[in-house]
C-alpha cells in the first residue's frame, strides 16, 4: 500500500476489482488512474481507451499492466503497437474497438469519454450488466429515457461521477421518493460570476478557461463559465433521481464546498460537503457501497470560514433557462441542446464566435429544430444519434450568421 498526500495510509477496497476506463487520458480518466495506482492491490485494469493520445495511453497501460489498450483514432494503431511492444498488452484501434473494450468482462466500467463519442461505448457497458461509473453527460442529457431503459433492462448498476449527482446520491441515502421535497445542485458561478453583460461580450477563451475552483477539461470548463453545465446537470438529475423537473433547482455557491442539498418533507436539509476534487466522487463510484481512501484535502470548516449562496442570474447566464426549457420540452430537445452546445463551444474556443454567442447559437438551433419538426420522441440509440447529428448540422447553419 502507498501513502496518500495527506499522510494517511491508503486502505484498499475489497478486491481486487476488475476495471475498464473509457477515456483514460482525459481529466476524469487521469484522476481515476491516480486512485487506482494508489490502491494497486485493489484493482486489475482490464482495458484503457483514448481517442488520440498514444503517449499517455501507452504510459498508463504500462504502469497499470492493463490487458488491453485501445486508441480510437485508427491511424495511430501502429504507433500504439510500437509503444507497447514487448509488454504483452493487447492493442486495438478504431471506434468499434473502443465499443468492444466496453464489452470486456469487468466489474466496473468508468465511462469518461467526453461528448457524443461516449454514447455507444457506454451503452455497450450497460448492456453487459456492469457497474457503470458515469462521467459522460450525453448518456443522460441526449439519451436519458433510452439510456435508463437500457440500464433497467440489463440490471446494470449506475453510479454518477459528477460531484453534484454523487452528492445527491449520498444525501438521498435510500430515502422514499415521497419524502423528497427538492434537490438543489450547487454551481460555483464560474470565472465570470461577477462580470456584467458588457464584460461577458468581450470574454476570451483564456479567461473562460480559468475556473476558480475546479481543474477540468476545456469543454466542461467553458460550460461552467456559461452555466450550461448546471443546466445539463439538471437534466441528468431528472433521469437519475425520483423527482419531477419542478423539484430540481440550482444555487450559486462560490466556494464549491457544498455540492448538493436535498430538502425533505419534514423540513430537514441534507448537504454533502468536500473540497472540490473529482477524486472524491470517483472514489465513491469505484468503491460503493464502501468508501476508499483518497488523497484529497480534508475539509476544515473553521478554516474555510464562510460558505455563501446566491440565486443564479439567468438574465446574464440564460443557459440555465434554455436547458430547463429543453428538459420540459422533452423528446430529442435535450439531445439537440447538447449537440448545438458542443458545436458552439468548439467555435468559441477557436475564436470564431464570442462568449455570449455560445448560448445564442444553442437557442437559435433549438428554435430551428422545433420549426423543422426535428424534436421527436426517441425510442432507440440510433434515433438519439440521428438527433445529435441533426442538432450539429443545424448549429453549423446558425453559426454562419455569427462567424
Mean pLDDT of the chain: 94
Max intra-chain CA distance, the chain: 62
198/255 same-domain check: yes
pLDDT surpassing 90 at residue 217: no
Cell numbers for 56: 499517455
33/94 same-domain check: yes
Alpha helices in 246-314 (DSSP H): 279-287, 301-304
236/348 same-domain check: no
151 domain-assigned: yes
307/364 same-domain check: no
Give residue for cell 434515433.
Answer: 383
155/174 same-domain check: no
145/198 same-domain check: no
98-142: pLDDT as tens digits:
999 999 999 999 999 988 899 999 999 999 999 999 999 999 999
132 domain-assigned: yes
Query: Is pTM beyond 0.85 here?
Result: yes
Residue 382 domain boundaries: 330-397
Write the DSSP string, 53-66: -HHHHHHHHHHHT-
45: domain CATH number? 3.40.50.720
Q: Which of 116, 141, 160 is the last residue of a domain?
A: 160
338: domain CATH number? 1.10.1740.10
Label residue 4 by pLDDT band (50, 70, 90).
Answer: very low
Residue pair 169/236 in contact (Cβ under 8 Å)? The answer is no
Count of domains for the chain: 3
Distances (CA, A) of 233 to 171, 185, 188: 16, 8, 13
Beta-carbon contacts of 344 under 8 Å, excluding residues fewer than 6 positions away, are 353, 357, 358, 359, 361, 362, 395, 399
79/95 same-domain check: yes
378 alpha carbon, distance to own chain's centre: 22
CA angle 343, 328, 258 (to 5 degrees): 80
Q: How many CB atoms lie within 10 A of CB 313?
A: 14
Label residue 10 by pLDDT band (50, 70, 90).
Answer: very low
CA 46, CA 336: separation in Å to the nearest integer?
34
365/255 same-domain check: no
pLDDT surpassing 60 at residue 74: yes
Beta bridge partner(s), residue 272: 260
pLDDT on residue 15:
57
Amino acid at each position: 500500500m502507498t501513502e496518500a498526500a495527506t499522510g494517511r495510509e491508503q486502505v484498499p477496497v475489497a478486491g481486487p476489482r476488475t476495471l475498464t476506463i473509457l477515456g483514460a487520458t482525459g481529466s476524469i480518466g487521469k484522476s481515476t488512474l491516480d486512485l487506482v495506482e494508489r490502491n494497486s492491490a485493489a484493482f486489475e485494469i482490464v482495458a484503457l481507451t483514448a481517442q488520440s493520445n498514444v503517449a499517455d495511453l501507452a504510459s498508463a497501460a504500462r504502469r497499470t499492466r492493463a490487458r488491453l489498450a485501445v486508441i480510437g483514432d485508427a491511424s495511430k494503431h501502429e504507433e500504439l503497437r510500437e509503444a507497447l511492444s514487448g509488454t504483452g498488452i493487447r492493442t486495438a484501434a478504431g471506434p468499434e474497438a473502443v465499443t468492444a473494450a466496453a464489452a470486456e468482462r469487468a466489474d466496473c466500467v468508468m465511462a469518461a469519454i467526453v461528448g457524443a463519442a461516449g454514447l455507444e461505448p457506454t451503452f455497450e457497458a450497460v448492456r453487459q450488466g456492469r457497474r457503470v461509473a458515469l462521467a459522460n453527460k450525453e448518456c443522460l442529457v441526449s439519451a436519458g429515457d433510452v439510456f435508463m431503459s437500457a440500464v433497467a433492462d440489463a440490471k446494470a448498476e449506475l453510479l454518477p461521477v459528477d460531484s453534484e449527482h454523487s452528492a445527491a446520491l449520498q444525501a438521498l441515502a435510500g430515502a422514499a421518493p415521497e419524502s423528497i421535497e427538492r434537490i438543489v445542485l450547487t454551481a460555483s458561478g464560474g470565472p465570470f460570476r461577477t462580470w456584467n453583460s458588457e464584460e461577458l461580450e468581450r470574454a476570451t477563451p483564456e479567461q473562460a478557461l480559468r475556473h476558480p475552483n475546479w481543474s477540468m477539461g476545456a469543454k466542461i470548463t467553458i460550460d461552467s463559465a456559461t452555466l450550461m453545465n448546471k443546466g445539463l446537470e439538471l437534466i441528468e438529475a431528472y433521469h437519475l433521481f425520483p423527482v419531477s423537473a419542478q423539484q430540481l433547482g440550482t444555487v450559486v455557491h462560490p466556494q464549491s464546498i457544498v455540492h448538493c442539498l436535498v430538502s425533505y418533507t419534514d423540513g430537514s436539509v441534507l448537504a454533502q460537503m468536500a473540497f472540490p476534487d473529482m477524486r472524491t466522487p470517483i472514489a465513491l463510484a469505484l468503491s460503493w457501497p464502501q468508501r476508499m481512501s483518497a488523497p484529497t484535502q480534508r475539509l476544515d470548516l473553521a478554516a474555510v470560514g464562510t460558505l455563501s449562496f446566491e440565486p443564479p442570474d439567468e438574465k446574464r447566464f440564460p443557459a440555465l433557462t434554455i436547458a430547463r426549457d429543453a428538459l420540459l420540452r422533452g423528446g430529442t430537445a435535450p439531445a439537440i441542446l447538447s449537440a448545438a452546445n458542443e458545436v458552439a463551444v468548439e467555435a468559441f474556443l477557436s475564436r470564431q464566435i464570442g462568449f455570449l454567442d455560445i448560448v445564442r447559437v444553442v437557442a437559435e438551433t433549438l428554435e430551428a429544430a422545433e420549426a423543422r419538426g426535428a424534436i421527436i420522441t426517441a425510442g432507440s440509440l440510433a434515433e438519439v444519434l440521428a438527433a445529435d447529428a441533426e442538432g450539429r448540422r443545424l448549429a453549423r447553419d446558425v453559426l454562419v450568421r455569427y462567424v
